C-alpha cells in the first residue's frame, strides 16, 4: 500500500532524524568523561532531548499509519511477514522508551537501555527491507515468460495477467 508522497516523506524524515539523534546520543554518551570537557555531556543531553521530541512526533505519524497503511495492507494480504515485524519493532521501541523514561529501577534500566539501542539500530535495516518487499510485491505478475517479451505486456501490465473466472456456487 503506497503512502501519500508527502506523508511518506514526513515518515522517512522522522525515522532518519530519530536514527541520527539516537546514534549521535550514543556517540556523545560514550565520549562523556567526568574529568573531561563538559561538551560531550551537554551534547548528549541536547541530542537525547531532540530524540525524545522527535519520538513524540513520530508517534503521531505511526498512529496515522495504522488506518492509512497497516489495516489496508493486512486486508489485502500484502507484506504479511515484514508488516507485523515493523509493528512489533516499533511497539518494542515505544515500550522500552517508556521504560527508560519512567522506570526507576537501577537494575532494570541498563537492560532496557541496551534493548532499546539494539532495536533502534536494527530499525533502519528492517524498514528498508519492509519497503523493498512491499514494492516488490506491488509489481504486476506475468503469467508466462512469453508475455514478458511482448510489447503489450510492457505497455499494459494487466494484459499479461490471466484472470480466472469465478467458481460456480453449488448447493451440493
Q: Which domain holds residue 29?
A: 5-135
- Taking CA atoms, 166 is separated from 140, 155, 163, 169, in Å, by 20, 27, 9, 9
**Is residue 162 situated within a structural domain?**
no
**Is residue 147 situated within a structural domain?**
no
The CA distance from 128 to 133, in Å, is: 9
**Is residue 141 situated within a structural domain?**
no
HSE-CB for 142 with a 13 A CA cutoff: 14
**Is residue 124 situated within a structural domain?**
yes
- pLDDT digit string (tens) for 60-101? 999 999 998 999 999 988 888 999 999 999 999 999 999 998
Show the CA angle centred on residue 108, arms to residues 106 and 109, nearest 5°.
Answer: 65
pTM: 0.76
The CA distance from 24 to 46, in Å, is: 10
Quickly state the pLDDT bin for 155 (edges 50, 70, 90): very low
**Is residue 84 situated within a structural domain?**
yes
- pLDDT digit string (tens) for 113-150? 999 999 999 999 999 999 999 888 876 655 444 444 44
Number of domains observed in the structure of the chain: 1
**Is residue 172 situated within a structural domain?**
no
**Is residue 143 situated within a structural domain?**
no
Place of cell 494480504: 77
- pLDDT digit string (tens) for 1-56? 788 999 999 999 999 999 999 999 999 999 998 888 899 999 999 999 999 999 99
- End-to-end, the C-alpha distance of the chain in Å comes to 39
Place of cell 530519530: 18
**Is residue 166 situated within a structural domain?**
no
Amino acid at each position: 500500500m503506497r503512502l501519500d508522497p508527502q506523508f511518506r516523506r514526513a515518515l522517512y524524515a522522522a525515522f532518519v532524524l530519530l536514527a541520527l539523534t539516537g546514534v549521535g546520543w550514543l556517540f556523545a554518551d560514550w565520549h562523556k568523561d567526568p574529568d573531561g570537557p563538559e561538551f560531550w555531556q551537554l551534547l548528549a543531553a541536547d541530542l537525547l532531548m531532540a530524540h525524545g521530541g522527535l519520538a513524540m512526533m513520530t508517534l503521531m505519524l505511526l498512529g496515522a499509519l495504522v488506518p492509512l497503511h497497516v489495516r489496508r495492507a493486512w486486508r489485502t494480504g500484502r507484506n504479511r511477514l515484514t508488516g507485523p515485524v515493523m509493528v512489533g519493532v516499533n511497539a518494542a521501541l515505544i515500550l522500552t522508551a517508556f521504560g527508560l523514561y519512567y522506570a526507576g529501577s537501577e537494575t532494570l534500566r541498563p537492560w532496557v537501555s541496551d534493548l532499546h539501542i539494539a532495536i533502534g539500530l536494527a530499525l533502519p535495516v528492517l524498514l528498508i527491507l519492509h519497503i523493498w518487499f512491499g514494492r516488490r510485491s506491488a509489481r504486476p505478475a506475468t503469467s508466462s515468460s512469453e508475455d514478458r517479451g511482448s510489447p503489450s505486456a510492457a505497455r499494459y501490465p494487466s494484459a499479461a495477467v490471466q484472470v480466472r473466472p469465478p467458481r460456480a456456487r453449488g448447493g451440493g
